[in-house]
Amino acid sequence: MTGESAVLQLEAERATEVCAEHGEGPVWDPSTGQLHWVDMLAGELLTMVPGGIIGRTKLGTVAAVARPVVGGGLVLALERGFALLRPGKQTPESLPQLWSDPSIRMNDGGCDARGRFYAGSMAYDESPGKGTLWRLDGALRATRVLDGVTISNGLVWTEEGDSAFYVDTPTGRVDRFDVDEHTGEPHNRRPAVRVPNELGSPDGLALDAEGCLWVALWRGGAVHRYSPDGQLLTRVRVPTPQVTACAFGGPRMETLYITTSRQGRDDRDDGSSGALFRVTPGVRGTPVHPFRLEADE
């Protein structure tokens, strides 16, 4: 790993007041110029519109992750499956539940370059191997992609779509998959980044235009930037320990937005946990891939 003296040190600033118990999953929607994220276990979608005003939409018992849809609206992972939030609507259209076990819920996810939505599940008590990575295609068919997951977290594809990065948090790693150019199936999983336990646990992910990976560190109070070969390049300090996810946004994709959590904290008096943070790191992000319904293909 790169020596600490060679690592660029940045400080995140608070972009909002404390607004979430467990903030997660930020995503920039370029079609609306809005940032979305979730207060996951409150089941709420948060939206920051131009001017900094935050709107809230109640989606259900759990709002795990949201991604833009080509043509408008959002695709969602809720507690036990997928849903669509149509443009202008406040109530999601839920698809059939994927399981009935109340001890399992959805967690983080994202869309591949073919416009398919993935979200991974986990046990509420974090029991090892109880989670599954699921895929929703443009015909709204759900498929199991990866079993034996514990805490399915960050998932992001390269702009070209030939590689994907994935976090199962207890492994302490970000893994890289090759992606089949014809089927979109991931294969050839191998470690891309290893995060020492004392620095926190890897959570949400973002990619920048230079091919570097940004990793939110749960209980690490930071976001790290890693080179394509896994070298630590930049540390963004966040003044609260439970950093959950990050995403580039803004008209030029120059701002890194960072979500945080207050969940389970005995010490909640730092005045920052649950707020949204931001930093301008000097590099642009790559836009996330949107969900594409079959009618749009």
Q: Which residues are catalytic?
A: 203
Tokens 């110029």 -> residue = 33
- Can you state the percent helix, strand and coil of the chain, rounding each to 5? 5, 50, 45
Both structure tokens of 9 = 């040190």
* Closest C-alpha to 10, from 220, 282, 287, 206: 282
> Is 79:101 a contact under the CB 8 Å cutoff?
no
Task: Report d(CA 37, CA 221) in Å as an integer.
Answer: 19
Place of tokens 């207050």: 262
Q: Rounded to an integer, what distance in angstroms lies between the CA atom of residue 292 and that of residue 231?
A: 34
CA distances from 39 to 3, 12, 293 (A): 36, 20, 26
CA distance 161 to 184: 8
